[in-house]
């Protein structure tokens, strides 16, 4: 069964003084998911969005799918619970941030969200074998996390293919999200490797016309993938 393609717009590249306007325009242009990056100045050298902002985004866009990517170390029950209660639909975290990966994936589902694990470029994917029944999606970082607008690291596409192969070996169909450097020039290779959720920061919110930006991504996806 073919997986559906989704665009997850990363608000890191939006105009923060006009965030509501930018998200609204992107949803009108048929962005599927709001990607909400949480950074703590510890796991990565940047600081972003707390649960208060998430709550505000949720109340303005009650029907949106909101994908919370926690680049936070350590991960704990309070952080996950705060973002789930503030309105997340999907939550992912990085396995380096806790010895309790299995427990926190379960907690995310108990709180009514889809659970995902995020893998840095240097993080091997083998642990996924033991976690399939806890996972709704896998986020493969295609740049080192921390900032938007970076160039995709080519070797990370091998990781996407490895995740896809590991899932197939276990007869699992899972959503694979790629995050970092997704653009018209890279999206087809991501899809060929097995990705079906595309985080787009600068390739969407960095562009003047979101409809044109998504049309260019779609064209690249359909023509070359
Ligand atoms: C990077 C973040 C990404 C980032 C992607 O650490 O996790 O979500 O916003 O930005 P682009 O699409 O510009 O690479
Ligand atoms: Zn992200």
What integer pLDDT is reported at residue 3 of this predicted model?
A: 81
Closest CA to 142 of 10, 16, 32: 10
**Which segments of the chain have a pLDDT < 70?**
1-2, 224-225
Using CA positions, which residue lies closest to atom 4 of ligand 1? 148
* 63: annotated active-site residue: no
Q: Note if the pTM is more than 0.95.
A: yes
Q: Which atom of ligand 1 is nearest to the CA of 145?
A: 6
Taking 3-state DSSP, the helix, strand and coil percentages for the chain, each rounded to the nearest 5, stand at 40, 20, 40
Contact status, residue 161 vs residue 124, Cβ threshold 8 Å? no
User: What local confidence, expressed as pLDDT, does residue 225 receive?
Assistant: 65
Which residue, 155, 92, 182, 78, is CA-closest to 128?
A: 92
CB proximity list for 13: less than 8 A, separation 6 or greater: 148, 149, 201, 202, 204, 205, 206
Which residues does a 6 A CB cutoff place in the pocket of ligand 1?
Answer: 10, 12-13, 35, 37, 69, 143, 145-150, 179-182, 199-203
Residue among 70, 140, 150, 152 to mutate when testing ligand 1 (max atoms within 8 A of CB): 150
In this structure, which ligand is nearest to the CA of 67?
2
Cα 201 to ligand 2 centroid, rounded to whole Å: 9
Give the per-residue pLDDT at 223.
Answer: 79
Concerning whether 37 is annotated as a catalytic residue, the answer is yes
Residue 1 confidence (pLDDT): 55
According to the model, what pLDDT value does residue 203 have?
Answer: 98
- Estimate to the nearest angstrom the gap between the alpha carbon of 137 and the chain centroid: 9
Looking at the CA of 45, which ligand is closest?
1
- For a mutational test of ligand 1's pocket, the pick from 201, 207, 217, i.e. the residue with the most ligand atoms closer than 8 A to its C-beta, is 201
Note the helical H segments in the chain. Answer: 19-28, 51-60, 77-86, 101-110, 155-169, 187-193, 210-224
Taken as a whole, the chain contains a residue count of 225
Yes or no: domain 6-224 corresponds to CATH 2.30.40.10: no
How far is residue 55's CA from residue 187's CA, in Å, rounded to a whole number?
31
């Amino acid at each position: 069964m073919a997986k559906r393609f989704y665009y997850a717009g990363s608000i890191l590249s939006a105009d923060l003084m006009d965030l509501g306007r930018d998200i609204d325009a992107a949803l009108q242009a048929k962005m599927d998911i709001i990607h909400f990056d949480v950074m703590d100045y510890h796991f990565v050298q940047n600081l972003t969005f707390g649960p208060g902002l998430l709550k505000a985004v949720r109340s303005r866009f009650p029907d949106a799918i909101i994908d919370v990517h926690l680049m936070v170390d350590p991960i704990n029950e309070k952080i996950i619970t705060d973002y789930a209660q503030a309105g997340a639909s999907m939550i992912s975290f990085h396995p380096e941030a806790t010895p309790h990966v299995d427990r926190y994936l379960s907690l995310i589902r108990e709180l009514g969200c889809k659970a995902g694990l995020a893998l840095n470029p240097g993080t091997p994917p083998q642990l996924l074998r033991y976690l399939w029944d806890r996972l709704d999606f896998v986020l493969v970082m295609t740049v080192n996390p921390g900032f938007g607008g970076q160039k995709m690291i080519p070797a990370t596409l091998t990781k996407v293919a490895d995740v896809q192969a590991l899932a197939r070996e276990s007869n699992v169909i899972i959503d694979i999200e790629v995050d970092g450097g997704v653009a018209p020039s890279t999206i087809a290779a991501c899809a060929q490797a097995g990705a079906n959720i595309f985080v787009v920061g600068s390739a969407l919110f960095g562009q003047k016309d979101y409809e044109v930006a998504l049309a260019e991504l779609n064209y690249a996806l359909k023509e070359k993938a």
